[in-house]
Structure 1
Amino acid sequence: MSIQRFPLAAVQQVRQYIQNAIVVDADKQVQTWTGIDDIDDIPEPKSLDDLSSVFAFGGLTPEEITAPQSLRRWSVSMVNPGAALLKLPGLDLKPTWRLVSYLYRDGDNGAGLVLAVPEELATTAHLEKALPASGNFKQPPKPEGALMDFMEAIDGDRSAVSFLVASLLCRELREFGALGAYRNWTHHRPIDAIPQRAKWHWQTEPPKDLAPKVKVLPDGQAVVEFFTCRISAGIALYRHLDQYPVNQYKPKCIDKALATPQR
C-alpha cells in the first residue's frame, strides 16, 4: 500500500487540540470525572484538515498551568484524559475502559501519570487507595486493574489518520502534567523541512522527505514517521518511527536524534 503524507499544519492542530483537552488548571482540579460538558460542545471534525475549527474554545498554554498544593507526592488528578479522544478522528476508547490521571509536584517541577482502568474502578475513591503505596517520582501509584500501558485501551478504525493521531496522543498523554525538569516532549516542535537557522552535524545522511507520513500494510500493521526539532537544551533534530502491530494501537516507538547544531 502507498505511503500517505499529511500536512505539518494538521499535525500541529492535532497536538494543540490534545494539549487543550488535557490541560491541568485549578478549575479542572475541583471538577468531577464527568465535568467535561464544555468539551462536548466543540464541533466534531471529520478529518485532520477539519481540526482548525475546534480551537475556538481556547485553553491554557503550558506556561499558564498551575499545580496542586501537594509537594513531593502523588495526588489524584481531576483531569479526564479521555476528553482528548472525544473529537479526534479514527480513535476511541475500548468499551468498559476509562483513562484516569495522577499528578506529582516538587516545587517548580512536576509530572503526571495517565492510566487505563476498568470503568467500574475509575472513581476517585478507588484511585486514592493506591496513593499510600506510592512514593517519589519513581514510585507512582498502581491502582488495581490498571493496564501496563494506557494505549492498550485505545481502539480505532485502522485508517492512516488514526495511526498518526495515535502517535501524537501517546506522546502528549505521557507528557501529561509535566513541569520544569520533567518536561521532554514539550520541547519538541514538529517540522517538515530542515531548519535553516543553524548548521547541522548529521549522524547519518539527511532525510530527503521530512513530511509526516503513514504506511498501512495489507496485513493491518502500520508505520508512522515524522520529525521534530528539540528547541531547548539538547537541541537536535529527531526522527520518530512508530510501528503498530495488527489489531493494536500500542506502538513500538523509536525516537532518534539525527543531527545537532555545529559549534
Structure 2
Amino acid sequence: MNQPKAYGTFYKNRNLTFRESAYLQFGSSETSIGSFLMLNPGGASCEDVRNLLHGERIFTEMALDPTMHQIVRLMEAFKPLEPLNGRVHLFNLFTLQNTKDKEAISHIEYLGGRGIVTIGDMVASMEELKRHPWICIGWGVGASDSHTFLKQLKGKWLEQIEQAGIPLFGKKNPFGDYYHLCPHLASKKNLLAEELREMYVQKVKSAAFTEVTEFTSSAVKPNLYCGYEMDLHEPINGWSVSSQNPERIVKSFSGLAIQKGYKLRAYSYKAEGQSSSAVYAIPQDKELTMPPNIIEKGEIPIPQCQSDHFMFAVDGDRTPLSYLQAAVVYHELGEFGISRQTCYWSADDILPLDEKLYEQADSVVDYLYTLGDWNEFKTIPPTLRPIFYYENDHPTVVFYTKNDVGMIKLSRYTHTFEKDSYKQKVHCEELAFAGIGILF
C-alpha cells in the first residue's frame, strides 16, 4: 500500500479544537489528485495539537485515523493503474474536532444557533474547490431534520460545489444523505469501495480506465508447441552447464522471439534433492563454459563471455499480448530449472482461475471469496483479469495471482517495460491473506 503522510492546520478556541484544513500527501507533488467531504474532523492529531493554548494555531503532521486509512484504500481503488503522487484534500462540513458524531453535531448546532460560528466560516470558497479534480462526499446519515444549522451547511456546500463545476459523487441513502466513507464492518468497507470506484469511473471518467486491454487468464499460457525436450543427464552435485535450452520458454509464445545476435543459455545446479539455475543472454556465436575456479556454496557461475540479463535476448511484435507474454516469460526464465521447494513464482496461479465462475460473480470481492476466506484487502482490484496499458509511454502489464504455499496470499504484479524493448521492472505487492496453505 502506498502509505501517505497526513498534515493539518489546527486552531484552539478556549477548550475547543478546530482543524481548519487537512490533506494526505502521496509522493512529492503538491497538485491535488482529489478531495473528500466528511462530517467533521475525527481523532487524527498529535502531541503538539493537544498542547495548544487558546488562540494558537499550528500546521503539523498527524497520525492517520481509521477514516484516513479507508481513504487511502479508496484512492488505490480509484487509481489502481498508476502510482499515487499528489495531495488528497480532506474537507469537513464543520471544522470542530470531535470523535463522537452525535456530540459534535449537537455542539455545532449550539455554536451555529448562537452565531458563534457562521456558515461562511465552514464552507470552502469556489476558488479553493476549483483546485480539485473531483470531490467524494461521505458525511454520514446520522443527522436528523431537527439539526437546522447542519442542514444549512450541507445545502451551502452542495451549492458551492455545483457552482465550482467539479464532479461530485458518493453513495446516498433513500433520504438523500451520503453514507460515511468508513463503515465499521470490513465486508461493508470492501463493498462501499467497489461502489464508489464505479461512481468514480462514471463521474470522473478517469484516464486510468481508458485504453486498457483486458485479457482472459488463458492468454498467459504458452500457445505454440515446441516439442518435448528430454531431461538429459547432468551432474547430481553442484553447478554445470545446463543441457536444457531456456529458449523453449520464449519460443512457446506466439508474440515473442529470440533477439537477433543473442541466444539464451543456462547453468544448472543440483544437490541434495534440490535444483536451481541461472539463465543468461549471450552472443549468438558464444557458448557457456564452466569457470576454472571452484564455485563456493551459495555462489552462481558467471559466464566467461559477454553476457546480459536474459530479457536482453527477448524480442517480439510489440502487441499488447506480446508484453503480457513477456511478463510471464520474465518469471519463467527467472525460475528455469528450479525445484518446487526452492521456487516462488511457479506456485503462483494467475487469476481468474475459472473464467465462467468469474463472469457469474456479482463482484471481484465475491469471486475472491470463492478462493479463500481472506482478511481485509489492502486494495480491491478493478478487475482480476490481466491488463495492458501505457503509463507515461511505458508499456505496462498488471496481473493478480493466488499462491497457496505457506500463507495463502493474493498478490498484484506490475511489470513496467522500457519504451523500446522487453526489459522490465517488476513490482509485487501482497494484497490479502487467507490462512495457512501448503507446507513442504
TM-score, normalisation: structure 1: 0.73
Alignment of 1:259 onto 2:419: no
Q: 1:93 to 1:240 in 2, by over 3 A?
A: same
Q: 1:133 to 1:142 in 2, by over 3 A?
A: farther
Instruction: Give deviations 1:6-47, integer Å, cap 9, x for gaps.
Output: 111222x32xx69x8698x7x3426xxxxxxxxxxxxxxxxx
Distance in 2 (CA, whole Å) between partners of 1:131 and 1:170 is 30
**Contact 2:250 2:258 (C-alpha < 8 Å) held by counterparts:** yes
Counterpart residue number, 1:103? 268
SS at match of 2:328: helix
1:100 is displaced (CA, Å) by 0.3
Instruction: Give deviations 1:136-183, integer Å, cap 9, x for gaps.
Output: 2x3111112343411022122221011000000010111111114311
Q: 1:22 to 1:213 in 2, by over 3 A?
A: farther
Name which of structure 1's ranges 97-106 and 147-156 shifts more when overlaid on structure 2.
147-156
1:131 is displaced (CA, Å) by 6.0
Q: Equivalent residues in 2 for 1:1-263 (5 A)?
A: 2-11=211-220, 13-14=221-222, 27-29=230-232, 68-71=234-237, 73-122=238-287, 127-130=288-291, 132-136=293-297, 138-192=298-352, 193-216=367-390, 219=393, 221-261=394-434
1:69 is displaced (CA, Å) by 3.9
Instruction: Give deviations 1:24-77, integer Å, cap 9, x for gaps.
Output: x7x3426xxxxxxxxxxxxxxxxxxxxxxxxxxxxxxxxxxxxx4422x11111
Over the residues paired in the alignment, what is the CA RMSD in angstroms?
Answer: 2.5
1:109 is displaced (CA, Å) by 1.5
Distance in 2 (CA, whole Å) between partners of 1:258 and 1:196 is 16
**Contact 1:223 1:244 (C-alpha < 8 Å) held by counterparts:** yes
Distance in 2 (CA, whole Å) between partners of 1:128 and 1:82 is 18
Amino acid across the alignment from 2:249: A
1:96 is displaced (CA, Å) by 1.4
Amino acid across the alignment from 1:29: L
Amino acid across the alignment from 1:244: F
Distance in 2 (CA, whole Å) between partners of 1:178 and 1:255 is 20
Q: 1:164 to 1:180 in 2, by over 3 A?
A: closer
Distance in 1 (CA, whole Å) between partners of 2:422 and 2:324 is 11
Distance in 2 (CA, whole Å) between partners of 1:183 and 1:140 is 16
Aligned sequence identity (%):
24
Distance in 1 (CA, whole Å) between partners of 2:248 and 2:340 is 24
Distance in 2 (CA, whole Å) between partners of 1:153 and 1:249 is 9
Larger Cα-atom Rg: 2
1:191 is displaced (CA, Å) by 1.0
Distance in 2 (CA, whole Å) between partners of 1:218 and 1:183 is 33
SS at match of 1:84: helix
Amino acid across the alignment from 1:170: Y
Distance in 1 (CA, whole Å) between partners of 2:335 and 2:377 is 27
Residue ranges of structure 1 left out of the alignment (5+ in a row): 31-67
Amino acid across the alignment from 1:253: V
SS at match of 2:285: helix
Amino acid across the alignment from 2:277: G
Q: 1:206 to 1:22 in 2, by over 3 A?
A: farther
Higher relative contact order (CA 8 A, sep 6+): 1
What is the number of equivalent residue pairs in this alignment? 213
SS at match of 1:215: strand
SS at match of 2:375: strand
**Contact 2:407 2:435 (C-alpha < 8 Å) held by counterparts:** no
1:228 is displaced (CA, Å) by 0.5
Instruction: Give deviations 1:183-241, integer Å, cap 9, x for gaps.
Output: 1111111112525242111351221311101114684x211000100012132011000
SS at match of 2:327: helix
